[in-house]
Amino acid sequence: MQLTDLKPAAGSNKDRKRKGRGIGSGRGRTAGRGQKGQKSRSGGGKGPVFEGGQVPWYRRVPHIRGISNRSMSTRIFRKEYEILNVEKLNVFDAGAEVTPETLIEKGLVKRNYKDGIKILGKGEINVPLKVFAHEFSKSACEKILASGGKIEVI
């Protein structure tokens, strides 16, 4: 057997339809496009974003030039903090240093916090602690300091 003897299986290869090659071909004149109308013309038909005559989405949405934090739906410059209320800090002993690592060990904060930890002021704190975090709310600062603790921004 030689390479020249190889052929595809019978019926597996078909000739393509050659349209518009004369009346005798069976696909001449209108070339399978029917009579008249938008779709019979060359370049005819609707575009991929045509919405049936309704104002298309690219004309409905506001056009904002450039990138800004207001224009982006994901708010690209926003910081996402892992939040923790002061009432949760009561699990620590008096005088303890509360760092992101100790919060992770106690299971109060996820291991993969994004931009930092923010302490909020919900609840009461009964023990004096030295708290290290990336952000504090005003009420959280007041409550931690009132209990005899200290705060430090990382």
3-state percent breakdown (helix, strand, coil) of the chain, nearest 5: 25, 15, 65
pLDDT for 71:
62
What are the phi and psi torsion angles at 49 (to 5°)?
A: -110, 10
Cα angle value 70/72/77 (rounded, 5°): 75
The structural domains of the chain, ordered by start, are 82-153 (3.100.10.10)
Report residue 74's pLDDT band, with 50, 70 and 90 as the boundaries: low
Q: How confident is the model over 9-53, as pLDDT tens digits?
A: 999 999 999 999 999 988 999 998 999 999 999 998 998 989 999
Q: Report the C-alpha dihedral over residues 47, 50, 55, 57, rounded to 10 degrees.
A: -90
Looking at residue 126, its pLDDT comes to: 87
